[in-house]
Structure 1
């Protein structure tokens, strides 16, 4: 039996970038007009609090060879494949692949979970790498690649700061009547000059140290007591419809934070973002980096299969599970 990690809301069916699409196009760029930036923030916030289908610009056209005539309503893109694993085999692999260097952090646990399947599913080193040197087309990127080391580092830092700022920019959306009861309790995106505290999970220890975790975004509803936790990744890889296990591993850790455990209801959201050099129009050279959402998938971390699976993996990671023969 395979685990169904989540219900996918990031569908590539009938998605066309940017002219025709069924999903939302959520994109930010530094020369964006006030109106477009405002609209992008509204869509981005809506995707946190509501299941949202996302149009991913990195999807590939389905080959129509041999299929005869097609119609405008035909599926233009191959639907994304699910990431499916056999839980027993995965647990067995985990027992034989215990980490050499333990880190008492959610990210350390997630990186170990990634190592358990990376070689089986392609072992691609840039799954979550930065896209600082993406080899796209555009004079803006050429200028970046041709810059000297100091200028390139400065550009990387500027772009990194811009990304972090936009990914936690909620505008005044939480002030409106629809979301007025929601509060951003924690942001772990490390904005410039900001010191972000860790949450300690005392009953999940690695060695003698409690697990530390810092969610990217953590929201709480003051009326209902509901909590939403968001984990943000960047990737140029093809995205499974239910994302990757390491994202859900990190969000499982976040779900163990005392504040989250006490919530009346918990939803965890995995977001994948990309960066692409795009010209807004033929009259607008050069190209500039655009930050866009590629996927948004949500699930309940209290679901028994989810909790049991990752709790077992964490026990193995922390050294509390002997190898069974």
Structure 2
């Protein structure tokens, strides 16, 4: 279906995060700091894992993919948000809105599935260590990563397909600072109950089930670790705790946004801001700060390049 034939609206006006100039200035500086400090840190994580032969375990392979996903995710909303802060009229074309929405859910869905894969990796490593090298072989790891990228694509394309079939012929003001499913659907010139229900099942229910599944799996892992007396007990607890922290940062806001009817709440913009701008840049850093091997390799890499 051609976009021009499915809608009269050719652009959307973004109302932004806030109308307060003071708050906008604070948010602008905050995002700029994150981009100048933490984003290069994510690229350093990727470079460290790629260049250090000792970091070849599946855990570090998945951590590198997490850094790639989060770094890519951070380019979807924040750069345009910075530009909009300096513009009087915040406008995004219909095609640009759909594109932003697609990549938002493509990468977000892929990251959610990656956390499931990382939980499976930790379960095999801690609860079934004798089978670890057999199950988590390089081929299996690449297949899992390919599957999560494909899963994110399918998850996103379903939502885009449903939205492209909606007519937009009236108001074009999005009460947000980016294009997302709840705000876009509310502007359609038709009854969207069925579409909203499908969106809740596609995003909300799957997100909630993944979250509960991950919570249960880590509870089992931690219970198994606490009963054991192995030397790596503290390290296993530290790694699993890190995974749980990132899991809450990833799924908590998503559950709040997508598992309820698409009605505006006062906290929506704040939750969306942390979910799309702040947390993606922080997730790999949380892993790094709690992983001694990566920190040591990173220091060696920096020292080697400074000496050179």
- Please say whether Structure 1 and Structure 2 have the same fold, judged by a TM-score greater than 0.5: no
| Between structures 1 and 2, the one with greater strand share | 1
- TM-score normalised according to structure 2 size: 0.26
Where is the helix percentage greater, Structure 1 or Structure 2? 2
